[in-house]
Amino acid sequence: MPTTRAPADACTLLDADHRKVKAMFKDYEALTKSRAASAAQKKRDLANEICMELTIHAQIEEEIFYPALREAIKDTDLLDEAEVEHAGAKDLIAQIQAAAEVDDMFDAKVTVLGEYIDHHVKEERNEIFVKARAARKLDLVGMRDLLTARKEELMGEMAVA
């Protein structure tokens, strides 16, 4: 008997971002073990890519997903915590982007950013997405399209910058 899967929704899109960035953090960790002369530049490039992905992801959540969820659910404490986590991640992202050298402190900042993101992802997957999908007032499939369009717009802006 075939099973029908729910259509991809906003949570599916956001979780795809989570998986992509998790893989990038794993790649970064592998680079920290490399002694190759090119490793520092590769780490810088990958860290910049991670920062861009996370910046765009946080922005689409803050502009579209979280406000819609605030309107649809009663318990918004999780959303408050998520926004505080975003602020902490943004601070680390700024430190990583401003770093003059790719040294042990740079590696530590990228590692801690990855740990922040792991924690944030667990809360989104296990609590926020569950509440979003249970909220009858939310059109998560329609929201996915809004998130995708905004994400593409932001990626275009960052590519030009």
Q: pLDDT tens-digit profile of 14-45?
A: 999 999 999 999 999 999 998 888 999 999 99
pLDDT for the residue numbered 3: 55
DSSP-derived letter for residue 74 is: S
Q: Which two tokens stand for residue 104?
A: 């042990």
Containing 147, the helix (H) or strand (E) segment is helix 140-160
Q: What's the mean pLDDT in 120-131?
A: 95
Place of tokens 């002694």: 35
Long-range contacts, stretch 64-68, CB < 8 angstroms, 24+ apart: 64/10, 64/143, 64/146, 64/147, 64/150, 65/10, 65/14, 65/132, 65/143, 65/147, 68/138, 68/143
Average pLDDT, stretch 138-143? 95
Nearest to 68 by CA among 153, 8, 118, 11: 11
The yes/no answer on whether domain 10-160 falls in CATH 1.20.120.520 is yes
Quote the mean pLDDT of the chain. 93
Q: How many residues can be counted in the chain?
A: 161
Q: How confident is the model at residue 75 (pLDDT cuts 50, 70, 90)?
A: confident
Q: pLDDT-derived band of residue 97, with 50, 70 and 90 as boundaries?
A: very high
Distance from chain centroid for Cα 8: 18
